[in-house]
Structure 1
Amino acid sequence: MTEPIRVLVCDDQVLVRTGLVTIIDAQPDLEVAGACENGRAAVDLAARLRPDVVVMDVRMPVLDGIEATRLLAGAGVPHPVKVLVVTTFNLDTYVYEALRAGASGFLLKDAPPAQLLHGIRTVAMGAALLDPEVTRRLVGTYAARIRPDEGTAEDIPLTPRELEVLRLIADGLSNSEIATALLISPETVKTFVSRILSKLGLRDRVQAVIYAYRRGLVT
């Protein structure tokens, strides 16, 4: 048997926090490593408990979820933790800020339990939770804000084919859609995606999309 996915739950509302803990702990492949009421406590507990995934609220006292996510999963963090942001606020700004802070996914609290559990498992496996088209819309909306001068396509350490795949990822295409567009197998696409993430030091497709916008590969 494989080890269960260890989850840290962070939400300032007791009822919500208790509900999340109950839902997660009822799954045989998931285990609640701890629970807390603010971002500062989440950062401290994550350092001690080393969870696989942190389920993080946004608006909380002491330290909000966005800043806590940045401290847990942001650029330069020595041992980043995967963060799934779960909030009542369906605002593009929150989604954008969460992704920029290093979150691997974003869900609303009114999502059904099955979607939450799927999100935790997806993020734990190292994949981004957001649908590619949603990611494209969000990043495209804020492209002007996230595309500072960080070099050009010429100095990106990818082969022409890998660059082509990266552009298609940033255009919101799934692996199967990329395979159809390039007349290759989905397995070959998965290999290309893995190589791209490895070469660029990126965690998931969300970061790949942001990277592509920053480098001006898509507009």
Structure 2
Amino acid sequence: MRPAPVAREIAAGRHLSTLAAFGPSGSTSVQGDVVQLRARKNWVVAAGEADSYVWSVGSALWLVPANAPGLLVPADHAGMGLRGTVAASVQADPVRVPASNELGPEEIAHPWFLVLGGAVSLGLMEGALGAALRHLGGTDPRTKADLARMRLRTDSVRVLYHDAISAVTWQPDRSAHRVRLLAVAASEAAVAVTDLAMKVCGDAAFRRDLGLERRFRDARAAAAIEPTVDTLLESVEVHARP
């Protein structure tokens, strides 16, 4: 499995890859053209379903095939997960991959991971608002203020999302603050917006055809995945502006 051909398969929609980055850093050892990776990674979304894993060890990222020798994935998972996925711990004990499967430094991928997480939160908010509007019609004065709050919170995150994409694309060395801002705002806004959607729709929010209860749970599952809001806030340097 070489990174370039896999990238083409991913672009064509024939290959699913997932990120294995959270947990102990792990270690590597080299034996000729083969690298052994040792680590345990937590909150690996689509564990057991993905075709490959983007695996972080130290400061480097490696492409690990799902069938790589030494990759241990739980047979089942009782957690909540996100829509249509599982989120489980995966063990490399050790995993053996070709040295050519190194993808590069982790610092290149991390900002995009946070941006994509913001996109997931944004999708959850738009979906919750759309479902609430279809059910309520947006004309009931008792729910109008809450619907307006949902719209404004969602639009605010969309502004931060486009700003973060622009920063990572054109000024990656100056993008860290904007990416963290998006990640924190999007995670907290998704929880707030889906909570309001449940509130305004009342008992109907639990109907399967609306899909609100599922988005409500998804927003909370996403907020629990590392890096959490608290983890991101610990890296922010707070100072007064002149």
Is TM (by shorter chain) over 0.5? no
Higher relative contact order (CA 8 A, sep 6+): 2
Could you state the TM-score of these two structures normalised by the residue count of structure 2?
0.24
The structure with the larger Rg is: 2
Could you state the TM-score of these two structures normalised by the residue count of structure 1?
0.26
* Greater share of residues in strand: 2
